[in-house]
Amino acid sequence: MADLFDPMALRGLALPNRVVVSPMCQYSARDGNANEWHVAHLGSLSLGGMGLLCLEATAVTPEGRISPGCLGLWSDENEAAMAKLLKVIRAASPVKLAIQLGHAGRKASSAPPWQGGQLLAETEGGWRPIGPSAVPHKPGEPAPEQLDAAGLRRIRDAFAAAAGRAVRLGFDAIELHAAHGYLLHQFLSPVSNRRGDEYGGSLENRMRFPLEVFRALRAAVPDTMPVGVRLSGTDWLDGEPSWTLEQTVELGLRLKDAGVDWLDISSGGVSPRQKIPVAPGYQVHLAEAVKRQVGVPTMAVGLITEPRQAQDIVAQGRADMVALGRAMLYNPRWVWHAAAELGAQLEAPPQYWRSLPAGLNSIFLNTAFGMR
């Protein structure tokens, strides 16, 4: 079995360890453009020694943003702003960078969490969301507009176009967001997909559009570039038709045949009726089941906060990588502390080599230096 600090290969990408920074929405872009906040936020994280740093959910169309402040990659202006951000990160850190591409579907046009997170009316700077069916996310909300055939083609092509921009920008990997109740998950779950055409009804039909999007994205990037998918392993809705772990495994097998390089297994998000048993590592069993039954590298997420906890997940073969979100915001040097606790080594900026307490210099590679 592997250890948390063992290297890992994903297609043509070599990761120095199995620690991943999860994509975390910042709701701070302007017209989809990265700005000074993203430079400060990602610049701090990029120095932490993780194996892979994934940028937040980035919309492939303007109406696909979760909030008016979400990042986008649908225009030349978005691409130019992202290029400035990456130039700063690349100048300071060798960290491997991924971008998560997504579309919020019926959960778009929302206020940021610190402003309540509710659906914004057009008079409040919002827009009418779209979705697989005219079914609102919450009771009392206006129904989204149901996508027609032309709309489906437009969004599929937008994912491929954004992937092409990510390649030009020099990202090392791409993650397709099909979880948390956003558009592709909305197609997968019968909670939100009530269509009567070839994109609704049976499991085969509900998987059709997400698989079309994945294949279009995969075809838009070089063969050497790894592409993963984030999935909700379950809707956490017992007693009603919903998305389940068994269906996740079936989709995982289809994605494996289509060339997926990893599956990032989260859960929930499609319904406010969900009942999630939140506890440390509460989603790890989902990643473990997908790893065992699908046979592709998996990423475990969800209240993984302690180094020994993360090490045990990898060492016991429950997942190949662990992804941390809030824990990294609270402690951007989490990976350093984990290396010290687990007796591992990692690369760090030479400007920071003398920051460690006495006796811990051994966690940094090539740290011999002196002063006169």
What's the sign of the alpha-carbon dihedral 215, 83, 24, 106? Answer: negative
255's enclosing H/E stretch is helix 245-258
CA nearest 272: which of 109, 117, 115?
117
- Write b or e for each residue in 265-283: b if 16 or more Cβ atoms lie within 10 A of its Cβ, otherwise e: bbbbbbbeebeeeeeebeb
State residue 86 phi and psi, 5-degree precision. Answer: -65, -30
19, 338 contact by CB (below 8 A): yes
Q: Which two tokens stand for residue 58?
A: 């980035």
pLDDT in tens, the chain (372 residues): 799 999 999 999 999 999 999 999 999 999 999 999 999 999 999 999 999 999 999 999 999 999 999 999 999 999 999 999 999 999 999 999 999 999 999 999 999 999 999 999 999 999 999 999 999 999 999 999 999 999 999 999 999 999 999 999 999 999 999 999 999 999 999 999 999 999 999 999 999 999 999 999 999 999 999 999 999 999 999 989 999 999 999 999 999 999 999 999 999 999 999 999 999 999 999 999 999 999 999 999 999 999 999 999 999 999 999 999 999 999 999 999 999 999 999 988 888 888 888 777 678 876 554 444
Domains of the chain (ranges plus CATH)? 8-363 (3.20.20.70)
Q: Is 322 helix (H, G, I), strand (E, B) or coil?
A: strand
Tokens standing for 271? 């319904």
Do 228 and 175 contact (CB within 8 A), yes or no?
A: yes
Is the backbone of residue 209 left (phi > 0), alpha (psi -120 to 50) or beta? alpha
Alpha carbon distance 372, 370 (integer Å) = 7
Residue 366: what pLDDT? 65
Give the torsion sign (CA, 44, 48, 52, 56): negative
The amino acid that residue 263 corresponds to is: L
Q: How far is CA 235 from the centre of its chain?
A: 17
Stated length of the chain: 372
The pLDDT value given to residue 1: 76
Backbone angles phi, psi at 246, to 5 degrees: -60, -40
Q: Contact 106/142 with Cβ under 8 angstroms?
A: no
Burial of 122 (0-12, 13-18, 19+ CB in 10 A): exposed
Contact 69, 41 (CB under 8 A): no
Structure tokens belonging to residue 326: 């809030």
Calpha distance 189→199 (Å, rounded)? 11
- Give me the pLDDT at residue 353, please: 87
Please state the φ and ψ torsions of residue 164, each to the nearest 5 degrees. -60, -40
Rounded to whole angstroms, the maximal C-alpha distance in the chain is: 77
Identify whether 182 is a catalytic site residue. Answer: yes
- Catalytic one of 27, 182, 330, 352: 182
The two tokens of residue 38 are 């993203």
Question: Quick one: pLDDT at residue 357?
Answer: 85
Distances (CA, A) of 67 to 58, 127, 223: 11, 10, 33
